[in-house]
Chain A
Amino acid sequence: MSQSGRALPRWADIGLLPLINVALAVMVAGLIVLAIGESPWKAVRIMIAGALGSPEGIGYTLYYSMNFVFTGLAVAVAFHAGLFNIGGEGQAYIGGLGVGLAMLAFDGELPFVLLLPIGLVVSMAFGAAWAFIPAYLQAHRGSHIVITTIMFNFIAAAVMVYLLVNVFTAPGSMTPESRKFLEAAHLPMVHELMAKLGIKMPFTPLNISLFVALLACFGVWGFLWHTPWGYELRTVGYSEKAAIYAGMRPKRVVVAALCLSGALAGLVGLNEIMGVHHRIFLNFVAGAGFTGIAVALMGRNHPFGIVLASLLFGVIQQGGAELSFDIPSITREMVVVIQGLMILFSGALAHLARPFLEAVFALRREAVA
């Protein structure tokens, strides 16, 4: 009752507050750039121009964003079931392993039209399988999902190192990576498609995973809010007791939700392995699994918000690369700092500005009343 007088309007809660958080993060990042002795204005200009100022920049930004969409959705689905899946990194890694294995096995035998669905299914299945073990342990043995999924990230990393060094590396090669897939196992690039339509675009790693990502967003939205399974998943997330009362089976829902979450994370493998690099190699996930947590937090666990947040993090990733290239005193590590600040302000400190904003709106309401 008491809260009703102070609540924020919906648009401010969803739109304004995250914007303020981003602005705060940018300001603090600016201070750090200033402390290094560079101009924050210049840095911001370079970042934005680098990420959005050219077709090439945009292509790279979107390519990075795709990974964040997948991992962000993964975190969001688990979150709606009341679970904190920190294992996106490992699930994406293993998803990529699955794609790689399938392509290495079939790229000489099957045509692309069959390899694409195989890649889709396998990446999701491997991601889901990697999530299944922690899910089962959580549901039936009470092992905390945060602990187990984190540990599974390490296991995934170790497994990949082992496989790459001992199994995949071509004899005589010095680099721990598999052979390159044949042409049939390459996802079409967006610039190639555009060229067919007569639009000239420079080369970028942006591939048709873009459409998979959009489909995934739409699918997750429909699943969570428009199907009985989504309804049950969200009920379990809010209250297990209510779910039992309502005739649901929370353990099953928990396992299913985490497997779906892992499947979404596994799609990162599709984008990286089948879409861009066409081989299995070390560390291709590069932290996208963790960034997904921030993306989901910032996007309020809603697919639309996740798309926006992914774009923002894509801009930071791509713009940051340009930045460290143009201003050598701002290193790659500085870009990680900026990303960290974004996560800090939109995640851990997400409600920092809320009391202030609430006071402002209360004043405004009084003025109107």
Chain B
Amino acid sequence: MTTDKPGGQVPPAIELRGIDKRFGAVHANRAVSMRIPRGKITGIVGENGAGKSTLMSIVYGFYRADAGEILIHGRKTEIANSAQAIAAGIGMVHQHFMLVETFSVLENVMLGVEGGALLKQGAAKMRAEIERLGQEYGLRVDPDAIVGGLPVGDQQRVEILKALCRGADVLVLDEPTGVLTPHETDQLFRILAMLRERGTTIVLITHKLREIMAVTDQVYVMRGGEVVAERKTAATSAEELAELMVGRKVRFAVEKAARSVGSMLIEAQGVSLRDERGLRLLDRIDLSLRSGEIVGIAGVSGNGQSALLEVLSGIRAPTEGRLVVLGREIDASKPCHPSEMRALGLAHVPEDRHRLGLVGGFSAAQSSILGYQRDPAYCGRVLIDNADVTRRAADLMERYDVRPRAPELRSAAFSGGNQQKLILAREIARGPRVLLAGQPTRGLDIGAIEFVHRQLMTLRNQGAGVILVSAELDEILSLSDRILVMFEGRIVGEVPASEADERRLGLLMANVRSEAAA
């Protein structure tokens, strides 16, 4: 064995040699070689579709490589299914959790390793193990809690516990922070650091560079199925990695032209929303949006942002207070249906794009008229002109760079970023006067994020008003003219963009009353 850079004399925990994988015409991995050193955190970054997830699926036995070999602790290992991967000490935390929501934490962790026909003994042992791991790594979860009722961050801990209880010494995390709040992300990183200290090898797949810079020891950059670079984290920068990922210079900051706000588009006074049990999801919200501005809504997710978008878009009527949207007065007795809102010129890019923004089983062309199916542009008195819909969809896909340019392809078959572009195209193309954008760049790669940001900025400069809800503070900071911070259904502070910084917003988001709460 040659002396290698990261691992020293110890063979790496995982070594990949010339892994190659094709799916039909798509060459997902091209001769990928990697050395994942023991007891370190290795990052793998790349845009959506760069081949990261495929590579890890091969390591975990979901797919078989067409060529190449895998060495675990220096020994050549065949991994044909996930059982063999687990036996080899590899644990995987998937982007979409593989948990039984109606089971308790303990039952989920025990799944597949029940240990005998009667559960009692195995359960007692597993309970002790969960207790021990919780102490040792700060992975605290109540073993008797029902998984479905836990916050997302805790569910992820259950996934990590599952892997550790099966004796994993290599932990692969696929986009682990995509669903987490900033606070939960910090907690996750503390846990990862703790695991590393105790000798666990960690592979972190992500496209968020800040995370790579924050926690990893070394990083591999993938592009187009290949490894294009290997760096020590300490010896690189987010800018360099971004360039390597995209293959060109990336501009993080969006150019913000001087703002000239105009007429009032949305005005909310004391708007509240109660759920069926009478709990306040929104608590006396005052808010205004004028033309030519982007108002950012910051806040840890789950503090009422979703409810706010639902009320503003007409999906739910406010239970108290008064709302004027584009001249239409709305209150509990005069709700405004989403279709009416659209007719007024309000467009909505929903937070949950998979389930709301488009219909997975429809073709892209069909999804491209969702919400506008009665628009006289393609719908006569009775018939929808499908040929015209397809033609327009093709045109939209061209203008908004939706790939592949296949209007007849099922919406669900597009990658997340391209689905989002399709939704944006649909909502923006008609030149709305108000755009509600919920987490518009969640899960997107850098190139797509840049694109979305430019679109939002263009819309603002053309005189529309934009409400931007995002969990990414960077995004809020770089795009917004004014920033509102939400906490437990209330707006706890407003900061002009010129005076905002992460610290100040962070304090407001945590609702720490101090000089920030102006």
Q: What residues make up the interface of A, taking CB atoms closer than 8 Å to B?
A: 1-2, 4-5, 222, 225-228, 231-232, 234-235, 238-239, 241-242, 244-249, 365
Q: Is the CB of B360 within 8 A of A238?
A: yes
- B383 at interface by CB-CB < 8 Å: yes
Within 8 A of A (CB), among B382-423: 382-384, 386, 413
Residues of B within 8 A of A249 (CB): 337
With A1-B23, A225-B386, A239-B355 given, is the CB distance from A245 to B371 under 8 Å?
yes
Given contact pairs A241-B356, A244-B315, A232 touches B338 in the complex (Cβ within 8 A): no
Of the candidates B314, B359, B382, the one having the most CB atoms from chain A within 10 angstroms of its own CB is: B359
B116 within 8 A of A: no
B348/A245 in contact, CB under 8 A: yes
Judging by beta carbons under 8 Å apart, are A247 and B338 in contact?
yes
CB distance from A64 to the nearest CB of B (A): 33
28 contacts between A and B (CB under 8 A): A2-B63, A4-B23, A225-B386, A226-B383, A226-B384, A226-B386, A227-B382, A227-B383, A228-B379, A228-B384, A231-B366, A232-B373, A235-B370, A235-B373, A238-B359, A238-B360, A239-B355, A244-B315, A245-B315, A246-B338, A246-B370, A246-B371, A246-B373, A247-B314, A247-B337, A247-B342, A247-B371, A365-B24
Q: Is the CB of B374 within 8 A of A228?
A: yes
Give A234 to B366 CA distance when docked, in angstroms: 11
A245 engages B338 (CB within 8 Å)? yes
A245 touching B357, Cβ below 8 Å? yes
Complex CA–CA separation, A137 to B337 (angstroms): 23
Taken together as a complex, chains A and B put the C-alpha atoms of A249 and B341 apart, in Å, by 14
CA distance in complex: A249, B338 (Å) = 10
Given contacts A4-B26, A245-B356, 10 further A-B contacts (CB under 8 A): A2-B62, A5-B23, A227-B382, A227-B383, A228-B374, A232-B373, A234-B362, A235-B370, A235-B373, A242-B355
Nearest CB to that of B343 among chain A residues?
A247
Q: How far is the CA of A1 from the CA of B57 in the complex (A)?
A: 12
**Whole-angstrom CA separation of A69 from B325 in the bound complex:** 49
A239 vs B366: C-alpha distance when bound (angstroms): 14
Whether B370 lies near A242 (C-beta < 8 A) is yes
A302 vs B366: C-alpha distance when bound (angstroms): 17
| Docked complex Cα distance between A242 and B426 (Å) | 14
Neighbouring A residues of B356 by C-beta, 8 Å:
239, 241-242, 245
A231 to B340, CA, bound (A): 18
Contact for A244 among B57, B62, B338, CB less than 8 A? B338
Quick one: which of B315, B355, B357, B384 contacts A227, CB cutoff 8 A? B384
Q: Which residue of A lies closest to B49 (CB)?
A: A1
Which A residues touch B386, using CB under 8 A? 225-226
At the interface, yes or no: B339 with Cβ under 8 Å from chain A? yes
Check: B485 CB closer than 8 A to any chain A CB. Answer: no
Q: How far is the CA of A242 from the CA of B366 in the complex (A)?
A: 13
B176 at interface (Cβ–Cβ under 8 A)? no
* Chain A, Cβ-Cβ closest to B413: A4
Q: Which residues of B contact A246 (CB under 8 A)?
A: 338-339, 370-371, 373
Contacts of B313 in A (CB 8 A): 245
Chain B residues with CB under 8 A of A227? 382-384
Closest to A245 in B: B356
Q: Distance in Å from the Cβ of A16 to the closest Cβ of chain B?
A: 20
The A-contacting residues of B in range 340-361, CB under 8 angstroms, are 340-342, 348, 350, 352, 355-361
Taking CB atoms, residues of chain B closer than 8 Å to A365 are 24
Mask: chain B, 147-161; 1 = CB below 8 Å from A; 0 = not: 000000000000000
Q: Is the CB of A231 within 8 A of B413?
A: no
Looking at the assembled complex, report how far the CB atom of B48 sits from the nearest CB atom of chain A, in whole angstroms: 11
Provide the residues of chain B in CB contact with A247, threshold 8 Å: 314, 337-342, 371
A-chain residues with CB within 8 Å of residue B370 when the two chains form the complex: 235, 242, 245-246
Q: Name the A residues within 8 Å of B63 (CB-CB).
A: 2
Q: Which 7 A-B residue pairs are closest in the complex by CB-CB distance?
A: A247-B339, A247-B338, A246-B371, A245-B356, A228-B373, A5-B23, A231-B373
Whether A5 contacts B24 by the Cβ 8 Å rule is yes
Complex-state Cα separation, A242 to B360, whole angstroms: 10
A81 to chain B, nearest CB (A): 13
Closest to B62 in A: A2
CA distance A67 to B24 in the complex (A): 44
| Cα of A260 to Cα of B62 in the assembled complex, Å | 45
Min CB distance, B4 to chain A, in Å?
32
In the assembled complex, the CB of A366 is this many whole angstroms from the nearest CB of chain B, namely 10
Alpha-carbon separation in the docked complex, A241 to B370 (Å): 12
The answer for the CA separation of A308 and B104 in the assembled complex, in Å, is: 49
Looking at B57, B314, B352, B355, which has the most chain A CB atoms within 10 Å of its CB?
A: B355
Min CB distance A246 to B, Å, is 4
Partner of A241 from B24, B342, B355, B361 at Cβ < 8 Å: B355
CB closest chain-A residue, reference B386 = A226
Assembled-state Cα–Cα distance A231/B382 (Å): 12
| B373-A241 in contact (CB<8A) | no
Contacts of A234 in B (CB 8 A): 359, 362
B348 / chain A contacts, CB cutoff of 8 Å: 245
Within 8 A of A (CB), among B275-298: none
A242, B23: Cβ atoms under 8 Å?
Answer: no
Alpha-carbon separation in the docked complex, A242 to B355 (Å): 6
B311 to chain A, nearest CB (A): 13
- Identify which of residues 408-467 in chain B touch chain A, using a CB-to-CB cut-off of 8 Å: 413
The chain A residue sitting closest to B360, CB to CB, is: A238
Determine if B358 and A242 form an interchain contact, defined as CB atoms under 8 angstroms apart: yes
